[in-house]
Amino acid sequence: MDYLLHILIVALIYAVFAMSLNLELGYAGLYNFGHVAFFGIGAYTSALLSLAGLPVPLGMACAMVAAGMAGALLCVPALRLTGDFFGIATLVFAEMVRLFFLNERWLTKGPMGLPGIPRPSWVGTGIAAMPMFLVLCLLLTVSVFLLVRWVAVSPFGRALKVVREDEYVAQALGKNVFSLKTRAVVAGSVLAGLAGSLWAHYITYISPGDFTLNETILVLLCVVLGGKGTNWGPVLGAFAVVFFQEALRFLPIPADLGRLIAPLQGMVYGLALILIMLQRPEGVISEYRRSRVC
Amino acid sequence: MLRVEQVTKRFGGLTAVDHITLNVGDTGITGLIGPNGSGKTTLFHMITGFYTLDRGRIYFQDRCISGRPPHTISRQGMVRTFQHTRVLPFMTAMDNLLSAAPDQAGERLCSVFFRPGRIRREEEAHRERAKEILEFVHLTPLSHQLAGRLSFGQQKLLEIGRVLMARPRMILLDEPTAGINPTLIRHLVNILRGLTARGIRIFLIEHNMPLVAEICEKVFVMDSGRLIFSGLPAEARQDARVIEAYLGREDRAA
């Protein structure tokens, strides 16, 4: 039972994370390969502040602000680039952030990580806190879902799609492409920061090893598998990926093969991404479903 | 309305546009013609802000627009189409038009959250206008179709509809009739005449000479980056330099 709660909580956190990436990837068409950086910045900000004695909700709010500011900072150089080059810049940014966590020991304790991150006082501690934490995650996921959907159907969401479809047309129609992309990245980063801080307060221990390229690929897989540019896609993708990952634990694999399985997992995700891109690039839920009928 | 003064663009050693000065006054339809590679599209890119200028100035409605980014020029009322039709393929025809509506409050995030009523009213108004425009370009039955699924000619019409949606004062069309059939050309001509009747000024690049002679009140002819003629279309056909630019000089042909 507790195990099921655990999976659900992780899936919900990943759903928030995936929805935040979807804002950039699905709507604005920005291939951000460093999205984990904002997840990490959110996690560390919230963890450090609450370890310093700040109330958890305040720490989470600060995490969102910090991640949003980092997103704005990244935009200044990275959005001068387009397409693949933007992807590479974000990839490098995420690596810089990870190395910062690893090396600035005075702040982050480096590879030792930060243990004992408190949970919000009202959810309790230890195993007993799980049901309430699930409720917290559920509330936040639903709010984020409604928020993202509200933005996506607004003229702002439509303008992002114009930028995704054709930047030159967007400019010719009077859209400030740089500003629209920046706002998408900042909004995505803020929500990724929220997901990261939820993660930190749930797991209660974080270290730089939690925020590697693997995490970016995983969340990318959630979005692409579920259906980018749709509201339900990232949520569906997050649940599918997390449940698949947990189901692997029950495979009857001999113990001495275990060390081979971990690297294999990454290969399976990579392969899954390639296959989806080739066979069904729009994901399980297609953005264009309705228009196909008529 | 539009004045171009001493405008120059170089790409490395090639001077694509060489000290061009022209004045598109309050003429209904003005044509820009010239052989391939004479710098017409480059000039359009410069007027609309997509290329920077190496020299010269451009004025639109007596305001200097050279050096400004494309989106601000577009917001001042000068909207363009592209040489190769560029619809937004994975958006519906309706959304293609709606996204072109100028100055939308709903594109600012704070009004999305705090002024939903105003945005709903705006959207309804835009939707009504988009329906009228779809009617005007005869695309009403396809309004919910993805733009990428429309035929080439329909995409051309949609692109012109989208330009209209932006409430322009002047539109720049880069080869509007390229690759479409004669029936559609007639249809397009009617649309363009309808626009001038509404007071919208049109500046277009065109290769179809009989069409230019028919619809343009004034033409500019470019060759190798230079302006070689400006005046009435009928005169252009008699002009020695224009004939030379298109057909080559006699001694060279021999």
Distance from CA of B181 to the nearest CA of A (A): 25
Strands (E), B25-169: 29-33, 55-60, 63-64, 78-80
Strands (E), chain B: 2-11, 14-24, 29-33, 55-60, 63-64, 78-80, 170-174, 201-205, 218-223, 226-231
pTM: 0.89
Displacement of CA B115 from its chain's centroid (Å): 34
Helix (H, G, I), strand (E, B) or coil at B177: coil
Place B27 in a pLDDT band, splitting at 50, 70 and 90.
confident
Q: Which residue has the tokens 């039709």?
A: B85
Write out pLDDT tens, residues B161-219: 999 999 999 999 999 888 888 988 999 999 999 999 989 999 999 988 889 999 999 99
Our CA dihedral for A132, A198, A32, A274, rounded to 10 degrees, sits at -50
Residue A149 to residue A152: CA distance in whole angstroms: 5
Q: Which residues of B68-95 are buried (b: 16+ CB within 10 A; e: fewer)?
A: bebbebbbbbbbbbbeebbbbebbbbbb
In this structure, is residue A48 part of a structural domain?
yes
Write out pLDDT tens, residues B97-154: 999 998 888 888 888 888 888 889 999 999 999 999 999 888 999 999 999 999 998 9
Of A155, A288, A291, the CB nearest to B106: A155
Work out how many CB contacts closer than 8 A connect A with B: 96
Asked if residue A75 has pLDDT above 50, the reply is yes
In this structure, is residue A291 part of a structural domain?
no
**Residues in B touching A174 (Cβ below 8 Å):** 71-72, 74-75, 79, 102-103, 166
The number of helix segments (H) and strand segments (E) in chain B equals: 11, 10
Residues facing residue B23 across a β-bridge: B3
In this structure, is residue A154 part of a structural domain?
yes
Of A159, A168, A187, the CB nearest to B107: A159
Residues of chain B with CATH 3.40.50.300: 2-86+166-253
ipTM: 0.88
What value does the mean pLDDT of chain B take?
A: 90
Place A293 in a pLDDT band, splitting at 50, 70 and 90.
very low
Record: contact B71-A166, CB cut-off 8 A: no
Place B84 in a pLDDT band, splitting at 50, 70 and 90.
confident
In this structure, is residue A227 part of a structural domain?
no
- What is the structure's pLDDT at A267? 81
Write out pLDDT tens, residues A179-198: 999 999 999 999 999 999 99
Kindly identify which residue of chain B lies nearest to residue A288, measuring between CA atoms: B90
- What is the structure's pLDDT at A294? 34
Residues facing residue B4 across a β-bridge: B22, B58
Average pLDDT over residues A147-170: 92
Overall fold of domain B2-86+166-253: Rossmann fold (3.40.50)
In this structure, is residue A53 part of a structural domain?
yes
Q: What is the phi/psi pair of residue B31, to 5°?
A: -105, 150
In this structure, is residue A267 part of a structural domain?
no
Residue A219 to residue A27: CA distance in whole angstroms: 16
Distance from CA of B148 to the nearest CA of A (A): 11
Kindly identify which residue of chain A lies nearest to residue B71, measuring between CA atoms: A174
- For chain B, the residues whose C-beta falls within 8 A of a C-beta of chain A are 48-50, 69-72, 74-75, 79-82, 86, 88-92, 95, 98-100, 102-109, 112-113, 119, 122-123, 144-146, 162, 166
**Residues in B touching A294 (Cβ below 8 Å):** 144-145
Write out pLDDT tens, residues A19-71: 999 999 999 999 999 999 999 999 999 999 999 989 999 999 999 999 999 99
Residue A158 to residue A120: CA distance in whole angstroms: 37
Provide the domain limits for residue A8. Answer: 2-210
CB atoms within 10 A of CB B182: 8
Of B82, B119, B144, the CB nearest to A154: B119
Instruction: Provide the number of structural domains found in chain A.
Output: 1
Record: contact A168-B100, CB cut-off 8 A: no
